[in-house]
Amino acid sequence: MAPFIGKRPVISIDLPGYGESDNPMGAGFSIEKQASFIAEALHSLDYDTVDTFGNWGGGTVAIQLAYQYPDLVSNVAIPNIIYTDLKGAELKKMLDVYAPDITFDEFGAHWIYVWNMLRDKELFNPWYDRTAKNIVNDGEPDIEASILHQKTLDFFKSFPLYKIAYQAYFSYPVLERLADLNSRVMIGNPAAESSKKIISDQLDKCVVTEMSREHGTLAKELLDFFNA
- Burial (Cβ within 10 Å: 0-12, 13-18, ≥19) of residue 44: exposed
Block means of pLDDT (10 residues each) for the chain, 228 residues, are 82 88 82 95 96 94 97 95 90 93 94 96 90 79 91 92 91 92 90 75 77 86 92
Whole-prediction pTM: 0.89
Structural domain count, the chain: 1
State which residues form the domain around 36: 2-227
Contact partners, residue 184, CB within 8 Å, separation at least 6: 74, 75, 76, 207, 225
Q: Which long-range contacts (CB under 8 A, 24 or more apart) does 168-173 make?
A: 168/29, 168/30, 168/31, 169/31, 169/56, 169/57, 169/60, 169/82, 170/82, 170/84, 170/86, 170/91, 170/94, 170/95, 170/98, 171/91, 172/31, 172/60, 172/63, 172/64, 172/82
pLDDT of 202 reads 66
Q: How large is the angle between the packed helices 145-157 and 109-123, nearest 10 degrees? A: 120
Residue 64 and residue 35 in contact, taking contact as beta carbons nearer than 8 Å: yes
pLDDT for res 16: 86
Q: How confident is the model at residue 74, as a pLDDT?
A: 97
Residue ranges with strand state E in 34-78: 50-53, 73-78
Residue 95 sits in a domain of what CATH number?
3.40.50.1820
Q: How many helices (H) and strands (E) does the chain have?
A: 9, 4
